Structure 1
Amino acid sequence: MKEIPPTPESFGVIAAATDRLLAQVAELDDKDMAAPSRLPGWTRGHVLSHLARQAPALERLLEWARTGVETPQYPSRRARDAEIEAGARQPAAALVADVRATAAHFRRTIEELPAPAWQATIRPFTGELCTPRRILVIRIRELVLHHVDLDIGNGVADIPAQARQIVLDDVLGYYAEAEGMADVVLSDREGALLGHFGTGGPVVSGTPAEVLAWLSGRSTGTELDCTAQLPALPRWL
């Protein structure tokens, strides 16, 4: 699974993704928040509530790394879902303020985490063993993809290149280990290799943004070119 180093550059990617998100959602009103997002069953309010609650949840993992005391990201999926549901009913201004405040606290937490803690072993809600360096990837992934999910005029192609590559590498790493993943070669439209699964298989080509959109479930892949029928993907997250 993808990890990145705890450097000012990495922290800057998170800060930039947060700022881009907040700049757009600040314009939403209560009616906008109640409208459907691109995620089935979730309003825009649910998406923002999830991002707000995710920050302290990830901080619990960082506390685990700092102290050595196992601290789960969430007590249970039911508790996680209840938190999101409760937050989604807040007025628009309160939701945006919640995202802003929790993001600022998360930024301070990662900037102040002692160096030895970045080498500790923790386990996120998704089950993989990793170091806190993976938490940086998870936060970037959630910020940029859920920004797209809000359906407020921001697409995968609008994700800045550095953040997009981090997320693409992460998704490729997931599918490399996923059960039932078909053999396939991924390339950009100039023929440069983006990734591959197995040996051989059809060649799927598109821009990095188009490939990421398909792999992450933000596109059906109709914009991609494929030398055979586009393979079905195993469930992602």
Structure 2
Amino acid sequence: MVRVDAEGLLGPIDESMARLVRTAGKLTDEQVRGMSLVPPWTRGHVLTHVARAADSLCRLLEGARTGRAIPQYASMAAREAEIEAGAGRPVAVLLDDVAAGAARLDAAVRSLPEGAWRRRVRLRTGELRTPGSLLATRLRELEVHHADLAAGYTFADVPERIARWIIEDFAEAVSRRPEALPALRIEATDAEVVVELGGG
């Protein structure tokens, strides 16, 4: 059963995924081996990461469903090895993997029982998050990694309503960090979005 607040993110996540797939679908096998905006990762690394990140969220949701502590990744070394192993695949295989990961995550979200939405799960960083907040993070990662492909899509192309969610999710993530923050103001130049952090 999908909570109302989470259900509002499923449509934007699907839209974001569709945009990413359209962009990546225009790449050739040679281009997908080209450098992304997060060197030394290639575009293939980025797409593999998007797929494996979906699987990692499925594990966290399974932890929320069962009440067991299930790690997001077996280890950081295992995470990196999975990304490296998948990065060199043909673009069609990469896209199938991305789509399959997205479908698994969608199914995990839609089948999560009501009580599980109130549980908190531990990210690889040690941070505790609710299942609903994981969806906001997924949306942010899809848009950021879409731009990371360096294939024509930039942050200027992110729809305003999604940009608002991304900024708010980023602000919430930063505000939860234990270290003191200096005063920080995030202000969109093309929308009425202002977030102030730190300095307290």
TM-score under structure 1 length normalisation: 0.77
Tell me which amino acid in the other structure corresponds to 2:159. P
Q: Distance in 1 between matches of 2:191 and 2:68?
A: 48
> 2:71 aligned with 1:72, yes or no?
yes
RMSD of aligned residue pairs (Cα, Å)? 2.1
Tell me which amino acid in the other structure corresponds to 2:64. A
Q: Give the match's secondary structure for 2:150.
A: coil
TM-score under structure 2 length normalisation: 0.90
Q: Distance in 1 between matches of 2:152 and 2:119?
A: 39
Q: Give the match's secondary structure for 2:9.
A: helix
C-alpha deviations, 1:60-84, integer Å up to 9, x for none? Answer: 0000000111111101100000000
Q: Say if 1:29 and 1:93, in contact at 8 Å, map to a contact too.
A: no
Indicate the residue corresponding to 1:181 in structure 2.
Answer: 181
Within 5 A, what are the aligned runs for 1:130-169? 130-169=129-168
Q: Give the match's secondary structure for 1:60.
A: helix
Indicate the residue corresponding to 1:195 in structure 2.
Answer: 195
In terms of fraction of residues, the more helix-rich structure is: 2
Q: Say if 2:119 and 2:131, in contact at 8 Å, map to a contact too.
A: yes
User: 1:193 Cα shift?
Assistant: 6.2
Q: Which runs of 4+ in 1 moved over 2 A?
A: 173-182, 184-193, 197-200
Tell me which amino acid in the other structure corresponds to 2:182. A
* Shift in alpha-carbon separation, 1:71–1:17, aligned structure 2, 3 A: same
Within 5 A, what are the aligned runs for 1:109-148? 109-148=108-147
* Shift in alpha-carbon separation, 1:173–1:58, aligned structure 2, 3 A: same
User: 1:140 Cα shift?
Assistant: 0.6
Q: Give the match's secondary structure for 1:46.
A: helix
Q: Give the match's secondary structure for 1:6.
A: helix
Q: Say if 1:13 and 1:162, in contact at 8 Å, map to a contact too.
A: no
% identical aligned pairs: 39
Indicate the residue corresponding to 1:87 in structure 2.
Answer: 86
* Shift in alpha-carbon separation, 1:198–1:152, aligned structure 2, 3 A: same
Q: Say if 2:181 and 2:199, in contact at 8 Å, map to a contact too.
A: no
User: 1:183 Cα shift?
Assistant: 1.8
Structure with higher RCO (Cα < 8 A, 6+ apart): 2
User: 1:56 Cα shift?
Assistant: 1.1
Indicate the residue corresponding to 1:25 in structure 2.
Answer: 24
Q: Distance in 1 between matches of 2:126 and 2:113?
A: 24
Where does structure 2 lack aligned partners over 5 or more consecutive residues? Answer: none
User: 1:53 Cα shift?
Assistant: 0.8
Tell me which amino acid in the other structure corresponds to 1:182. P
Where does structure 1 lack aligned partners over 5 or more consecutive residues? Answer: 201-237
User: 1:182 Cα shift?
Assistant: 2.6
Larger Rg: 1 or 2? Answer: 1
> 2:154 aligned with 1:171, yes or no?
no
Tell me which amino acid in the other structure corresponds to 2:135. L
Q: Give the match's secondary structure for 1:196.
A: strand
C-alpha deviations, 1:102-160, integer Å up to 9, x for none? Answer: 11121122112111111112111121112111210121111010000000111111111
Tell me which amino acid in the other structure corresponds to 2:196. H
C-alpha deviations, 1:206-225, integer Å up to 9, x for none? Answer: xxxxxxxxxxxxxxxxxxxx
Tell me which amino acid in the other structure corresponds to 2:108. T
User: 1:184 Cα shift?
Assistant: 3.3
